[in-house]
A and B are shown apart, each in its own frame.
Chain A
């Protein structure tokens, strides 16, 4: 809060902290954050419910967001999303799989964000590989990580 001229500015960072601690923005977590920030819990809840990345109901430990916007859609995002949903087994509480709006990585379409890290371009078959790696606690799709890519055009 000290980083901002107005303590209310800390509401999104505070909700991120709640989510990190509890896995999602639980009512208890929101109450605690609200008490520290000296705002009402309802105020923080209204903020949390506005944003797609803040969850106001329980979600899995591993979060997989598959981009389904234009550029990824053209390259097979819908099938990739289905593949992730199938691989995660539908009712496996460890995984939260969702289609998502443009994640800003159309150069690696179709792509997914797995636990806040980007991977692409992905084949539908790689969804199962990624889920298995997550289950086994291994590094996920090391060859497809955005962080390891070079600049476009540099062969």
Chain B
């Protein structure tokens, strides 16, 4: 049974392994009925209108209106494309993995409907290479959908075509950035492109391209089926709908939980995920993956979990991934671990990101070794300021924002570590013991 505070729409029936098959999806979730209705009875504009009015915001990180994004695509006979971004690589995020593993057909139906709204004839699912198991599941599901006539040429006899290809990446965080994803899909090194032109105008192979996250597209069948008013009864005015939230780190029950947006963050972390282990307190948490500025427990726990509340608090909801740090976590080491990731994943195209991530790592290493001077803290902060907004994509910003926030909010701890590196909290293995069981064997 789901937790009483959960509201499962995307994850409904997901505990049943049969949902993964076409028959199971039809039987349990009434699958592909919406697709049939839309292809047979609805015009492109009708589908687009429902998506726009629903106010569905992108679940990949930016939170931009999905319907609006689709409406930016020009009309005309040119080849148009749809890319599903399944390159989930943000530290802390693992919701798309769950959605693809348990309900692949919901995603495929969402893609087919979004392709109708964008008039795209060719769609791709760009899945990270590490998700080999999930890519195999998608391959099987796509083959089933072709077989049943939901994909391919002349779908359901409606004179519409849609080709869908599952494309495996090969391990690069940057490919989750939408223009780098396009380069990777075109068979190049995944480097981001200069914007504008935005992908909606000039994207894959130079054609208009709609790019959406797995969770965003998984919402589409429900919205097209039940309408925008139904969707608006969940969540807040500016953040309608539910969200699959990945909670990890120092909590007793890490996992994916689907809740209405706007739920108190405290309920999410304490009631649903079990809170910190006995005898420990929450020190800080990332509200939206490792790219979001950390919030201290006092700042963040009593906020509603919505796009607008997190933005107002100077952070972001991002991909909806909460990483909890309890009182055993050394913040300077956390900053170093975070910075190393972005240093490793920087594609090297823009100087502020390539050099800034490198220097940040070096300076943080000096700090935890006790070789830094107090001035270095200000230099680290200024390096972060010089990265933000100065690159083609936001990878550099994604390091600069959380690291900058950590230095600002935990300055005393940094100073303490710099003065007494031997007194630092054990930088390894801070949260001990296995988490409570996450559920029965499926």
Contact = CB atoms under 8 A, between A and B. Distances in A.
Interface string A34-69: 000000000000110011111000000000010011
A101 B98 CA distance: 19
Contacts of B88: 104
B interface SS class: loop
Interface in B308-327: 321, 323, 325
A137 interface: no
Interface stretch (B41-49, B389-397, B434-442): B434-442
B429 A78 contact: yes
B93 interface: yes
Contacts of A73: 337, 428
Interface in A126-155: 146-155
A107 B94 contact: yes
Given A54-B171, A149-B442, A150-B439, A101 B91 contact: yes
A104 B440 contact: no
Interface string B230-270: 00000000000000001011100111110000000000000
Interface stretch (B109-117, B124-132, B149-157, B350-358): B124-132
Given A51-B171, A53-B170, A69 B93 contact: no
A9 B91 contact: no
Nearest to A54: B170
A4 B338 CA distance: 36
Contact of A147 (B133, B167, B249, B439): B133
Contact of B172 (A50, A77, A150): A50
Contact of B255 (A13, A52, A148, A153): A153
Interface stretch (B58-66, B186-194, B217-225, B407-415): B186-194
B441 A149 contact: yes
Contacts of B286: 70
Contacts, number: 209
A93 interface: no
A102 B92 contact: yes
Nearest to B175: A51
Interface residues of A, number: 56
Contact of A74 (B128, B169, B249): B249
Contacts of A147: 101, 133
Contacts of A149: 438-439, 441-442
Contact of A154 (B171, B185, B439): B439
A69 B91 contact: yes
A51 B172 contact: yes
A116 B128 CA distance: 12
B168 A12 contact: yes
A152 B255 contact: yes
Contact of A16 (B168, B437, B441): B168
Contact of B429 (A65, A76, A151): A76
Given A101-B173, A101-B345, A152 B434 contact: no
Given A13-B168, A107-B94, A151-B15, A78 B428 contact: yes
Interface of A: 3-6, 8-13, 15-16, 46-47, 50-54, 65, 68-71, 73-79, 101-109, 113, 116-118, 121, 123, 146-155
Given A3-B163, A104-B89, A106-B323, 4 more contacts: A51-B170, A54-B170, A147-B133, A150-B440
